[in-house]
Structure 1
Amino acid sequence: MSDVAGASFQERMAALLDKEAVADVIRRYAYGIDTRDEALVRACFDPDADIVGTVSSGPLRDYLPRLLEDVNGYGATMHQLGTQLIDVHGDRAAAKSYAVARHFRDPEGTEEVFVVGVRYDDSLRRDDGGGWHIVERHVVPIWRRTRAESEQR
């Protein structure tokens, strides 16, 4: 319920709780990637989710192992979420979330390899238990800066 004009207090509270629950799914995804917690990342998605990523695309069962293999090639990553727009309509939600993802060669984060700015365009669905899951994700690359580019400045 994105339009709260004329809504009751209970409806407005339900809308806020739904938006927070959707935002929490996206935060858990970022935390799961950065901590290499496959179970946490997988729990953010519907098992039949489709993803269009920056490196590969496909159904979750194919996409997630490739993503985790790629992420595990870095000593550390840090995803910082920024602006989010979330619209909830019943048991469906659309979310646009900006993120800056830093990728480091070493676990201590002293050797940055690259930084990327992306937008996650997500479609989510509420399951029968009331939990939200991403059913479709499109990762939109916005900018990318490598270490070599930074050192040239």
Structure 2
Amino acid sequence: MNRRFDVVESVRSGFPGVKVRFENIELNWSFVLGRLRRSLGEHFRRIHEGDFHMANPSSDLEKRMQQILDKEEIRELMSKYCHGIDKKDEALFMSIWAEDGNYELPRGNGTGTEGIRQLVQKVWREVPKCHHHITNPLIEVNGDGATAKTDVTYFRETADGVHCLLSGMYSFEFAKVNGAWKTRHLKFSSFVNASPIFKENLKG
């Protein structure tokens, strides 16, 4: 069924007096209905065949939600690292690591569960007090692997009683092991090793 419209429309968009004329617009209703019918047919065909990517956007939403959950679990690992090392909570500290993890610090490297345990115990002997603040995490998740870079500022008191304020960067690698994220590699790179004039550092 065809219908013909003669339309005169005035359009004012910052130009007074300008008129635009639309004439002899032919609307072919059978063509419109045919296109609509074909579009609906394709939509239901995809649903019937189980192809929901175009027909149902929930799969994309589920992927995005999973990424949010993964990143939150990784942030929790980084928080456990700080709490574990600052409070000398060995069980909490060791809980973040994969069995084949690698821990790199200026004081040494630790590989595997026992190597990491020995390195953190060395840190606790040489640095009796420390307080870490991880900030600005950039986390990239790719399937069952992930990486992160963060800034870190921390206060420490060494075994000889010297107080320091330091800043640097952590580079993390993570892996999902049996459904849970674990730290596979952690490396510290120093930015600034500052020693402000703490009154405790003054001698005599």
The bucket for the TM-score relative to the shorter chain is 0.7 to 0.9
Residue 135 (structure 1) aligned to one of 164, 171, 184: 184
C-alpha RMSD of matched pairs (Å):
2.6
Could you list the per-position Cα deviations for residues 56-109 of structure 1 after superposition, in whole angstroms to 9, with x for gaps in the alignment? 113142243232232244443211111100000010000111111111369xxx
TM-score after normalising by structure 2? 0.62
One-letter amino acid of the counterpart of residue 100, structure 1 = T
CA distance in structure 2 between the partners assigned to 1:85 and 1:22 by the alignment: 11
Query: Which residue does the alignment assign to 1:103?
Result: 156
**Structure 1: which 4+ aligned runs deviate by more than 3 Å?**
72-75, 147-152
Shift of 1:149: 8.5
Shift of 1:148: 4.7
Q: Which has the higher contact order (CA 8 A, sep 6+)?
A: 1
Query: Which residue does the alignment assign to 1:47?
Result: 99
Superposed counterparts of 1:1-153, under 5 Å: 8-60=60-112, 61-104=114-157, 113-128=163-178, 130-148=179-197
TM-score after normalising by structure 1? 0.81
SS of the residue corresponding to residue 102 of structure 2 reads: strand
Relative to structure 1, is the Cα distance of residues 64 and 19 closer, same or farther in structure 2, using a 3 angstrom cutoff? Answer: same
SS of the residue corresponding to residue 149 of structure 2 reads: strand
- What stretches of structure 2 of length at least 5 have no aligned partner? 1-56
One-letter amino acid of the counterpart of residue 116, structure 1 = L
Q: Higher helix fraction: Structure 1 or Structure 2?
A: 2
Q: Does 97-106 or 114-123 show the bigger shift?
A: 97-106
Residues matched between the structures, number: 142
Q: Percent identity?
A: 20
Relative to structure 1, is the Cα distance of residues 28 and 69 closer, same or farther in structure 2, using a 3 angstrom cutoff? Answer: same
Q: Is the 8 A contact 1:102 1:112 kept in 2?
A: no
- What stretches of structure 1 of length at least 5 have no aligned partner? 1-5
